[in-house]
Amino acid sequence: MKTTLKNIATIQTGVFAKPAYNGDIVYLQARHFDENGLLSVELHPDLMADDISDKHILKTGDVLFAAKGTKNFAVAFEDHFPASVASTSFFVIRLQNEIILPQYLTWYLNNPDSQQFLKNFARGTSIASISKAVLDELEIFIPDLKTQELILKITQLRNTEKKLKQEIEILREKLIQQLIINAIK
């Protein structure tokens, strides 16, 4: 099945707020994530919940899309995250039905072809930004749920393989350096 994102989800912008030192909920910002959309810092509540409308509180299954700057990525909000709201760096994509898994949509948005399509329509001179209108019109190919799960499993295995290769390369480099040091002693 092929459709546009606006047909399967609602898209809203994150909220503008000024974080405090302590709070009740987390104010998620792009700086909390690495270039692959993985959390790179420990999250601490830094907004008071009284100041935030319930409609902006993130729910498990929401997909955040970082639409500003050069680091565009999607991340699925999961139940292990603390109570949070998204900053204005993100669009919050809330799926309207169960024909698509949030993790599949995240994978699809992070796919190089989707990224290239979105970057082609980014606007702005100092900070490039992808508009909601462009995101609305993104064509999404939605296979059946079993195929979506298979794609996610393959992706997970590929990421594990890449991580293991990096770790092997680091260990190999350490071994070679140690062998060289031992040889000159």
Per the structure, the complete domain to which residue 169 belongs is given by 144-185
Percentage of the chain beyond pLDDT 90 is 55
**Residues 22 and 70 reside in one and the same domain:** yes
Tell me the two tokens of residue 30: 């792009």
**Residues 82 and 117 reside in one and the same domain:** yes
What pLDDT digit, counting tens, does each position of 101-111 carry?
Answer: 999 999 999 99
**Residues 122 and 47 reside in one and the same domain:** yes
Q: Which residue has the tokens 């729910």?
A: 59
Q: What is the CATH number of the domain that holds 117?
A: 3.90.220.20
**Residues 182 and 115 reside in one and the same domain:** no
Percentage of the chain beyond pLDDT 70 is 100
| pLDDT of 47 above 90 | no
**Residues 73 and 97 reside in one and the same domain:** yes
What pLDDT digit, counting tens, does each position of 57-85 carry?
Answer: 899 999 999 988 878 899 999 877 788 89
**Residues 107 and 53 reside in one and the same domain:** yes
| Residues contacting 140, CB < 8 A, separation 6+ | 2, 3, 4, 5, 8, 100, 105, 108
Number of domains observed in the structure of the chain = 2
**Residues 77 and 29 reside in one and the same domain:** yes
**Residues 10 and 82 reside in one and the same domain:** yes
**Residues 7 and 94 reside in one and the same domain:** yes
Rounded to 5 degrees, what are φ and ψ at 104?
A: -70, -45
Q: Tell me, what DSSP letter sits at residue 87?
A: B
The pLDDT value given to residue 99: 93
**Residues 96 and 40 reside in one and the same domain:** yes
**Residues 126 and 159 reside in one and the same domain:** no
Q: What is the pTM of this model?
A: 0.85
Rounded to 5 degrees, what are φ and ψ at 125?
A: -90, -50
**Residues 6 and 20 reside in one and the same domain:** yes
Name the strand (E) or helix (H) holding 180. helix 145-184
Average pLDDT, the chain: 89
Closest CA to 73 of 41, 102, 99, 36: 36
What pLDDT digit, counting tens, does each position of 127-142 carry?
Answer: 888 999 999 999 999 9
Between CA 74 and CA 65 the distance in angstroms is 4
